[in-house]
């Protein structure tokens, strides 16, 4: 499965569909370990003059540990395919299982960053900022119900350094 480099602007689908409807995998590696998890909250856009992905990762995720150890990560889009595998990657933890082995998804490296071979699009991203959501900023009090365990998301701003699409 070959990928060719393109520009993020060449991706025709809306970011809302890519992430929120079709779901994505965030993959990171650190200390000889690799893991991937499903995300459906987040966005693509521009910040500080750069193309970026915004990721919202709860602190208890194993992937969060790897993200905090690694400067690089990938975001993979599947265009609505592989939802069963993505559901698995969103329901089980890399602490307990090897998600690649369990799902048949294949980890590959593009520019030395772990990505997913079955994806239609792999974004190679460099972490440029991390911040934990501060609930004192919630203007709509119903948002707090998302955080019964006070497990406020960590917001990762990840610069999109390269965009690869399947050939
Ligand atoms: C469709 C779907 C979307 C998800 N979106 C997110 C998300 O945006 N942020 C998050 O922290 N967890 C999200 N999750 C939950 C994680 O994917 C899940 O807790 C996963 O098991 C974490 O794996 P890990 O412990 O190996 O990192 C989602 C799960 C599913 C099924």
**Cβ within 8 Å of residue 45, ≥6 positions away:** 15, 51, 52, 54
pLDDT at residue 75 in the model: 98
CA distance linking residue 108 with residue 151, whole number of Å: 31
Mutate which of 25, 37, 86 to test ligand 1's pocket (most atoms within 8 Å of Cβ)? 37
pLDDT beyond 90 at 1:
no
- Tens digits of residue pLDDT in 89-98: 999 999 999 9
CA of 84 to the centre of ligand 1 (A): 14
- Tens digits of residue pLDDT in 22-71: 999 999 999 999 999 999 999 999 999 999 999 999 999 999 999 999 99
- In ligand 1, which atom is closest to the CA atom of 91? 21
pLDDT at residue 70 in the model: 97
CA angle, 45 then 49 then 53, to 5°:
30
CA of 34 to the centre of ligand 1 (A): 16
Nearest CA to ligand 1 atom 19: 90
CA distance linking residue 138 with residue 128, whole number of Å: 24
User: Rounded mean pLDDT of the chain?
Assistant: 97
Percent of the chain with pLDDT over 70: 99
Mutate which of 19, 38, 55 to test ligand 1's pocket (most atoms within 8 Å of Cβ)? 38
CA of 20 to the centre of ligand 1 (A): 12
Report domain 3-166's class: mainly beta
CA of 38 to the centre of ligand 1 (A): 5
Q: What are the sequence ranges of the domains in the chain? A: 3-166
Comparing CA positions, the residue from 40, 46, 103 lying closest to residue 75 is 40
pLDDT beyond 80 at 165:
yes
- Tens digits of residue pLDDT in 81-91: 999 999 999 99
pLDDT at residue 35 in the model: 98
pLDDT at residue 26 in the model: 98
Mean pLDDT of 114-138: 98
């Amino acid at each position: 499965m070959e990928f060719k480099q393109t520009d993020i602007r060449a991706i025709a689908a809306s970011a809302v569909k890519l992430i929120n409807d079709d779901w994505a995998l965030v993959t990171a590696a650190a200390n000889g370990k690799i893991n991937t998890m499903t995300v459906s909250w987040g966005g693509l856009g521009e910040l500080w003059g750069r193309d970026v992905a915004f990721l919202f990762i709860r602190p208890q995720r194993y992937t969060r540990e790897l993200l905090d150890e690694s400067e690089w990560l990938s975001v993979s889009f599947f265009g609505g395919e592989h939802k069963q595998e993505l559901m698995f990657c969103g329901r089980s933890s890399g602490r307990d299982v090897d998600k690649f082995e369990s799902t048949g998804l294949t980890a590959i490296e593009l520019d030395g960053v772990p990505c997913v071979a079955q994806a239609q699009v792999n974004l190679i991203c460099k972490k440029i900022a991390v911040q934990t959501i501060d609930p004192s900023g919630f203007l709509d009090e119903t948002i707090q119900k998302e955080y019964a365990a006070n497990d406020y998301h960590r917001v990762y701003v990840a610069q999109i350094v390269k965009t690869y699409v399947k050939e």
